[in-house]
Amino acid sequence: MKKTALVTGILGQDGPYLAKLLLEKGYKVYGLLRRYSTPGFGNLEYLGIEHDVDYIEGDMTDESSLLSIIKNTRPQEVYNLAAQSFVGSSWEQAKLTTEVNSLGVLHLLNAIKYFSPTSRFYQASTSEMFGLSHENGIQDENTPFHPRSPYGVSKVYAYWMTVNFRESYNIFASNGILFNHESPIRGIQFVTRKITDGVARIKLGLQNELRLGNLDPQRDWGFAGDYVEAMHLILQADTPDDYVIATGETHTVQEFVEKAFAAAGILDWKKYVQTDPRFQRPAEVPMLKGRIDKAVKQLGWKPKVSFDELITMMVKADIERLEKKAR
C-alpha cells in the first residue's frame, strides 16, 4: 500500500520540493490548491512533477473545505506549508495573515482531530518567531519567542496550537522551526531571489539598478531542497517533537549581494545597488542563526548545500531562465 500525504502550499517554494521528495519515496501526494482563475504551476513544472500530484481544491480560511478534504482522504501525513509567508506584507494585511497562518492551522488540526486522528501533522514554523530573541547570538528550541511582525506573531499562535493538540489529544503533531531557505523557485519578492533575478538582469543588460531596503540584517540561509528532507524526517520520528532546522551560519544581506554579483562576474556591485526606504520594515529582525544539535542527533539531518553554492545555483538559474525567455 502506498503511503499518502497531503501537502498544503503546493504551488509555493517548499511544496514542490517536498512533493518531489515524497513522490520519489513512493507516496501518493495530494496537493491543496486554493481557487484561482489561473493557478501558477511553474514551480512544479520547474521540478517536472506538475502531472504527478493529485490536486484538491480548498482554502486554509475555509474550515469546511479542510474538514471534507481530511474526511475524504485521511492521509497518513499532513504537511502544512500554506501561509501568507511574506513578512513585508504582514503589516498591511495583518488580519489576512492571521486568518491563514493562525486560524487556518486550527482548522486543519480540528479536521485531523475529528476525522483522521492518526494522521501525522507537520507545521511549518519559522525562525521569525524568535525575532529579537537569542542567547549569545544563537537560537535553538529553548530560545523564547519575541516576534517582530504580524507574520511572526501569527506563526507563534500556530506553533503553540500544534503543541497543544499534541498534548491535549495525543495527535502526532510536530513543528519544524525552519530558518530562511531559498532556491531557484523562491518567490521573487524575497530578498535572495530579488537579488539573483536583479543580478541576472543587470548581467544581461535588461536592468541597470537593484533597489533594496536594509542591507544590515543577518540571516541563516540554507537550500530548500535540503530542508524538505528535514520535514519528512520530523514525521518519521518515533515521537512528535519540535526541531530547529538551519545551517548554523549567518550572513548579512550585503554579503549575499556581493557574492551574487561576484557569481555573475560583476565586482563593482555598489554601482548598481540603491537603497530604497519602501523596502524597509516598521520593525526588523536583526539577526538569525540556528543551532541544529537536536536535529543532527535525533533525526540524523544536516544541510548539504553551502551558502556560496546556493548563491551560485540561484544566479545561474536566473541567468538561464532569462536567456531562454529571450530566445
Site for ligand NAP in 108-127 (CB under 6 A): 124, 126
**Of ligand G4F, ligand NAP, none, which one sits near residue 295, judging by CB under 5 to 8 A according to partner kind?**
none
How far is Cα of residue 108 from the mean position of the Cα atoms in its chain? 18
Catalytic residue among 27, 30, 151, 159: 151
Distance (Å, rounded) from C-alpha 191 to C-alpha 186? 9
The maximal CA–CA distance of the chain, rounded, in angstroms, is 59
Pick between residue 145 and residue 269 the one whose CB is nearest to ligand NAP.
145
Q: Which three cell numbers stand for residue 226?
A: 535540503
In this chain, which of 81, 185, 212, 235 binds ligand G4F, going by CB under 6 A? 212
Closest CA to 47 of 65, 64, 22: 22
Stretch touching ligand NAP by CB under 6 A, among 28-36, 47-55, 159-167, 196-204? 28-36
For position 153 contacting ligand NAP by CB under 6 A, the verdict is no
For position 134 contacting ligand G4F by CB under 6 A, the verdict is no
Closest CA to 188 of 31, 39, 55, 321: 321
Provide, rounded to whole angstroms, the least separation between the CB of residue 13 and ligand NAP: 4
Question: Count residues contacting ligand G4F (CB under 6 A)?
Answer: 23
Is 272 known to be catalytic? no
For position 12 contacting ligand NAP by CB under 6 A, the verdict is yes
Is 73 known to be catalytic? no
In this chain, which of 126, 183, 196, 250 binds ligand G4F, going by CB under 6 A? 126
**Of ligand G4F, ligand NAP, none, which one sits near residue 11, judging by CB under 5 to 8 A according to partner kind?**
ligand NAP
Pick between residue 147 and residue 240 the one whose CB is nearest to ligand G4F.
147
**By the 8 A CB rule, do 177 and 141 touch?**
yes
Q: In the stretch 213-252, what mask flags binding to ligand G4F with x, by CB under 6 A? A: xx--x-x---------------------------------
Distance (Å, rounded) from C-alpha 199 to C-alpha 193? 10
* Torsion of the alpha carbons at 123, 126, 128 and 131, rounded to the nearest 10: 100
Continuous segment of H or E residues that includes residue 139: none
How far is Cα of residue 20 from the mean position of the Cα atoms in its chain? 15
Distance (Å, rounded) from C-alpha 71 to C-alpha 69? 5
Closest CA to 124 of 70, 170, 84, 90: 84
Contacts of 236 (CB under 8 A, 6+ apart): none
305: DSSP letter: S
Provide, rounded to whole angstroms, the least separation between the CB of residue 182 and ligand G4F: 8
Positive or negative, the CA dihedral 150, 152, 153, 158 is: positive
Pick between residue 83 and residue 202 the one whose CB is nearest to ligand NAP.
83
β-sheet bridge partners, residue 314:
none
68: DSSP letter: H
Pick between residue 51 and residue 95 the one whose CB is nearest to ligand G4F.
95
Is 128 known to be catalytic? yes
In this chain, which of 281, 294, 316, 321 binds ligand G4F, going by CB under 6 A? 281
Site for ligand G4F in 79-98 (CB under 6 A): 85, 87-88
What is the binding site for ligand NAP (CB under 6 A)?
A: 8-9, 11-15, 32, 34, 36, 59-61, 81-85, 100, 124, 126, 178, 180-181, 187
Residues annotated catalytic, as ranges? 126, 128, 151
